[in-house]
Structure 1
Amino acid sequence: MTSQAFDFHLPTKLNASIPPERRGIRRDQVKMMVLNKQSGQVYHDEFCQLEHYLQEGDLLVLNNSRTIPALLRARFHPNHQKEPSIIEVKLARKLNEFEWEALILSDEVSEGEVLHFSPTLSATVLNQKSPTPLSRILFSKGGTELLEEVYMIGEPIRYEYIHKPWSLEYYQTVFATTPGSLEMPSAGRAISWELLFRLQKKGIQIAFLQLHTGLSYFLDDNLLPSPEQNSEKYMIPEKTMNKVLDTKKRGSKVLAVGTTVVRALETASKTSCLNGWTNLYITEESRLQLVDGIITGFHEPKASHLDMLLAFVPKEKLFPAYEEALNKQYLWHEFGDINVIL
Structure 2
Amino acid sequence: MTLANEQFEIPTTQSANIPIELTGKSRDSVRMMVLDRKTGQFSNHHFNELDSFLQPGDVVVLNNSRTIPAVLKGKQGKREVEIRLSRRVSAQTWEALIVGGIYSNTKCIEFSNEVTATIEGQGSERPLVVLSFSVGGADFYQFIYKYGEPIRYEYIEHPWPLEAYQTVYASVPGSVEMPSAGRAFTWQLLNRLKKKGIEVVILQLHAGLSYYGNDRWPNPTNHPEAFHIPLHTAKVINQAKKDRRRIIAVGTTVVRAIETVADDNGHVRSGEGTTRLYIKAGMKLKAIDGLITGLHEPEASHLDLLTSLIEKKKLIHAYEAALKQGYLWHEFGDMNLILPIEV
How far the C-alpha of 1:98 sits from its partner, in A, is: 0.6
1:157 corresponds in structure 2 to 151
Percent of aligned pairs with the same amino acid: 49
- Whether 1:300 aligns to 2:294 is no
In the TM superposition, structure 1's runs of 4+ consecutive aligned residues that sit over 4 Å from their partners are: 128-131, 270-273
Residue 265 of structure 1 is matched in structure 2 by 258
* Matched-pair contact (CA < 8 Å) for 2:231–2:270: no
Is the aligned partner of 1:75 residue 2:75?
Answer: yes
Residues 94 and 130 (structure 1), Cα distance of their counterparts in 2 relative to 1, 3 Å cut: closer
Alpha-carbon deviation of 1:36? 1.2
Match of 1:236? 229
SS of 1:112's equivalent in the other structure is: coil
1:123 aligns with 2:117: yes
The equivalent of 1:175 in structure 2 is: 169
Alignment of 1:188-207 (within 5 A): 188-207=182-201
Residue 202 of structure 2 corresponds to residue 208 of structure 1: yes
| 1:240-294 Cα distance to aligned partner (Å, 9 max, x none) | 0111111112122100000000000000114956311111111111110100000
Of the structure 1 ranges 99-108 and 23-32, higher mean CA displacement relative to structure 2 is found in: 99-108
Check whether the contact 1:112–1:126 (CA below 8 A) recurs between aligned residues. no
* Residue 162 (structure 1) shift: 0.8
Distance (whole Å) between structure 1 residues aligned to residue 101 and residue 315 of structure 2: 41
Partner of 1:321: 318
CA apart distance, 1:54: 0.4
Between 118-127 and 300-309, report the one with greater CA deviation.
118-127
Against the structure 1 CA distance between its residues 60 and 93, is the aligned structure 2 distance closer, same or farther, given a 3 Å change threshold? same
Task: Output the CA distance in 2 between the equivalents of 1:231 and 1:34.
Answer: 30
CA RMSD, 1 decimal:
1.6
> How far apart, CA to CA, are the structure 1 residues paired with 2:333 and 2:124?
35
Corresponding position: 1:53 with 2:47: no
Alignment TM-score, normalising by the size of structure 2: 0.94
Q: What is the rounded CA distance, in whole Å, between the counterparts of 2:102 and 2:13 in structure 1?
A: 36
SS of 1:169's partner is helix
User: Contact 1:2–1:226 at 8 Å: present in 2 too?
Assistant: no
1:112-134 Cα shifts (integer Å, max 9, x gaps): 21111112311112236795111
2:135 maps to a residue whose letter is K
Gaps of 5+ in 1: 78-83
SS in 2 for 1:119: helix
| Local SS of the residue matching 2:110 | strand
Contact 1:111 1:128 in 2 (8 A): no
What are the equivalent positions in structure 2 for 1:41-120 lying under 5 Å apart? 41-77=41-77, 84-120=78-114
Other-structure match for 1:80? none
How far, CA to CA, are the matches of 2:278 and 2:76 in structure 1?
38
- Aligned residue for 1:39? 39
Aligned counterpart for 2:127 among listed residues 124, 133, 145: 133
The 1-side partners of 2:139 and 2:79 are apart by: 26
State the partner residue of 2:242: 249
Contact 2:229 2:269 (C-alpha < 8 Å) held by counterparts: no
Aligned partners of 1:132, 1:321: CA distance in 2, in Å? Answer: 34
Give the equivalent residue in structure 2 for 1:81. Answer: none
Code of the residue aligned with 1:311 in structure 2: it is S
Q: Give the drift of 1:4.
A: 4.0
Q: Which amino acid aligns with 1:225?
A: P
User: Which amino acid in structure 2 is aligned with residue 340 of structure 1?
Assistant: L
